[in-house]
């Protein structure tokens, strides 16, 4: 069954909800609402990964996320930490996090593989071609799916050589990161090729810019939740491990439809 990872941005500048959950009380309240709506995992991030975003000092990142993670895990919530910093990953693990979600796949911080080894947490390895302020310049492909698959495979090989347990790895093809709209759709259409690497796959399409192109010009970001839910359903049909979303309610309903459809075929 495909899991739902609810997004909790503890940041002032995330593209769709920056500043809304910056205060710990507000962040925890929102996370618990997402769990009540059907989120299986809460992904807590203290550094925006929007296009053109600049890096946050790791100490500031830790100050944002650690108190929230600790309060959520004390209430039995499964938490992942969205970070590129090994020091933040370690602090999040100490606070009870179960998963490290690294959009750089271990490339931004050379110490991240050691943090994964030391904490023993599950580790999401995303396809990444460079820092966020220059990511668009890397959006050049000859065969998008084949190159994304190959580059993810290279990251896996490196992590395994560093001693990371393969059972801990989860792959993310990195929709919107060093990819234009056409590249994103190609990756989604070729999702099963990524799955042939043999690891669980996470899909994070929620509210991203390429979905906005399907809507009337000027439509609010929240209007992207409907196409996000459709992608969640199609990804679930393709067998992905989890989908990362802002609006849990619509995705929960979409996945319930998929499950009912599949149950009907089994009767």
Positions marked active-site:
208, 244
3-state secondary structure the chain: CCEEEEEEECCCCCCCCCCCCCCHHHHHHHHHHHHHHCCCEEEEECCCCCCCCCCCCHHHHHHHHHHHHHHHHHCCCCEEEECCCHHHHHHHHHCCCCEEEECCCCCCCCCHHHHHHHHCCEEEEECCCCCHHHHHHHCCCCCHHHHHHHHHHHHHHHHHHCCCCHHHEEEECCCCCCCCHHHHHHHHHCHHHHHCCCCCEEECCCCCHHHHCCCCCCCCHHHHHHHHHHHHHHHHHCCCCEEEECCHHHHHHHHHHHHHHHHHHHC
Taking the CA atoms of residue 29, residue 32, residue 34 and residue 38 in that order, the dihedral angle to the nearest 10 degrees is: -160
Q: Which of 13, 104, 102 is nearest to 56 (CA)?
A: 13
Count other C-beta atoms under 10 Å from residue 98's C-beta. 17
Name residues whose C-beta falls within 8 Å of residue 163's C-beta, 6 or more positions apart in sequence.
113, 117
């Amino acid at each position: 069954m495909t899991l739902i990872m609810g997004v909790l941005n503890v940041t002032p500048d995330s593209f769709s909800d920056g500043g809304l959950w910056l205060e710990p009380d507000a962040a925890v309240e929102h996370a618990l609402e997402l769990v009540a709506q059907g989120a299986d995992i809460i992904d807590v991030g203290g550094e925006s990964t929007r296009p053109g975003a600049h890096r946050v000092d790791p100490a500031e990142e830790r100050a944002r996320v650690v108190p929230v993670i600790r309060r959520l895990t004390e209430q039995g919530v499964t938490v992942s930490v969205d970070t590129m910093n090994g020091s933040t990953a370690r602090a999040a693990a100490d606070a009870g996090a179960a998963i490290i979600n690294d959009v750089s796949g271990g490339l931004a911080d050379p110490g991240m593989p050691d943090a994964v080894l030391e904490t023993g947490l599950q580790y999401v390895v995303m396809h990444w071609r460079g820092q966020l302020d220059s990511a668009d310049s890397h959006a050049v492909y000859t065969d998008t799916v084949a190159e994304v698959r190959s580059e993810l495979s290279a990251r896996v090989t490196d992590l395994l050589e560093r001693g990371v347990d393969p059972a801990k790895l989860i792959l993310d093809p990195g929709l919107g990161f060093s990819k234009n709209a056409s590249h994103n759709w190609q990756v989604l259409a070729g999702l099963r090729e990524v799955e042939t690497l043999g690891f669980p796959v996470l899909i994070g399409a929620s509210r991203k810019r390429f979905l906005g192109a399907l809507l009337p010009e000027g439509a609010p970001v929240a209007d992207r939740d409907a196409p996000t839910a459709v992608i969640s359903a199609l990804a679930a049909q393709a067998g992905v491990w989890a989908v990362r979303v802002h609006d849990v309610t619509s995705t929960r309903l979409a996945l319930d439809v998929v499950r009912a459809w599949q149950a009907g075929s089994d009767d």
